[in-house]
A and B are shown apart, each in its own frame.
Chain A
Amino acid sequence: MGNTWVALKGMLEYIGLEVVVPPPITKETLFLGVQHAPEFACLPLKINIGNLIEAKKLGADVFIMAGGTGPCRFGLYAQLEKEILEDLGYHYDSLIIEPPDTGYWQFLKQVKKIVGKASWWRVFQGIRFGYQKALAVDKLEKLVEEIRPRETVKGTADKIFQNALQIIDRAQNFGELEESYILSSEKLRHIPQDERKKVLKIGLVGEIYTLLEPFASADIEKKLGYLGAEVRRSLYLSEWVNEHLFLKAKGPSIRDFARPFLNHFVGGHGQETIGAGVAFANAGFDGIVQVAPLTCMPEIVAHNIFPEVSRDCGIPVLNIYVDEQTGEAGINTRLEAFIELLEARRKPDGKVVSKPDAVQGVAQDVASPIPREAAQKAANKEGPDTLTM
């Protein structure tokens, strides 16, 4: 899942386990997964199965998987994966970690099962080390997100970032990690940039896997960056870990922003998606892009509610679903059109859409930024036929 492997590998190796990192996700991985996963399952499951098959070929024999108690499908991933792999003749021992929300004791017991002989102190340090790595990666990534639209030579920041990942991965202790982080961030800061360029700010929200794994989302984050937008995600690994594993949330939770649009937890990251959308709008972002795997239940709820958020907060929203149909051109076109629309909105004359014909395709996805009353009046007049999508 994106760069998560750096942190996880760091943690497990620190504890003293041998780790097989599955090869980066490619079309081949997805193909393997799609072949064996149920048709309507969500994309992360399909990729996961592909990963596990590839890792098996590299000699892995235990997979560690988070569990869950619903209502998102993720809670049953491990079980389904195990059964599918068993049918294919790949035998895995699976260790399913139930989230600590359901009881710390259970959680500790499972952790002990995984780590075997390592002492608790070692485990604790390992977790801390993994977390530090995640933190370092996330900080660098945020820097990259800022630099991407401004750099003079496109792609420099990404190259340095890839290199930084390698260095951070190689770091064996806290000192080395600190050093590699400082080195990489210095390198990033020295990239020549056009400081005066006015860039758009876009909030990327949605389902965690598609947010963190660039392959799953057809690299939307990078694409937006190169199109001249500074992207901020609603989720970063270290923040997620902080909130869910260490159970400490600082300040108001992102979910609180979801009221009054979505007043109840809907599983997965549905409420966070809406909440982050509102928070981004309040922070003066220019637009929101929602990414989710096709048939993702919580995100569909969020998608249904976004038009209202868009009307109330006056922020355009683009919804993108990803699945195994990986045609990139379609996504590129939609992103470009979205960016153009946002730029048009920012023009000083205040006219939101100058040529309605030119942006019609986008206007369908993007709820209109007209104030709510006006939109509703228009809706009443024209009847439900004018609904988006």
Chain B
Amino acid sequence: MQPLRPVSPGARLLLGAGFFAVFLGLWLWVTEGGHVPALFLASPGRTLAAGWSLLTEYGFLGDIAVTVFRVVGGFLIAAAFAVPLGLLMGAFKPVEAFFEPFFSFARYLPASAFIPLLILWAGVGEAQKLAVIVIGSVFQLVIMVAVIAGGTRMDLVEAAYTLGSRPLGILRRVVIPAAAPQVAETLRLVLGWAWTYVIVAELIGASSGIGHMIMDSQRLLDTGQMIFGIVVIGVIGLVTDFAVKLLNRRLFPWAAL
């Protein structure tokens, strides 16, 4: 092995799959080998069986749909607010000076700590679930988009000025297109965070969703169902992440993401 030397695509695939195999093997060994009581950790086989019964008997697909709806909904609300504001903050320094200090403070407020308050305000319905996700992601997103937009190359801005752009033209034709690929990558990142918030929101005061199912399974001591729920979240996260990455490459062929 030499530092920074690239690895061939085949070897990369093999190595990546290799660790999954090691992980699965370890799991099999501790469960099937009797090193851990089945009460605390279900074996891979039992987890799959539990997942099958969840899907076929308990309507788990409905839970998945509800959770996906919450994640996407909360995330879209946050993005619709944060992206325009972030772009304005990055482009216009007085706007940044007005919002930045408060948002820098607000993004350290833990979204999960708002849950009791939000239940008080909005009950245990969808509004509360969406609000947790929005609070969890909007402030982070605003700050990150502002930093990206603020990092627009000055020489491009100057070139645009010498070609006749006015301030609004600079925003529309330079700052926004220049920031777009990185903003899209940031959205991908924050979408991942939204998944953690939604589960936290569903662990408390929910009657549906993946998080609610995991909570219910704990009462029944069904570790197979719990693990299956967690793995489903992981798989959905991986798939959407991959899909968004592909979409970004399609949308911004010039950026070599």
Specify whether A and B are partners. no
B residues apposed to A, CB below 8 Å: none
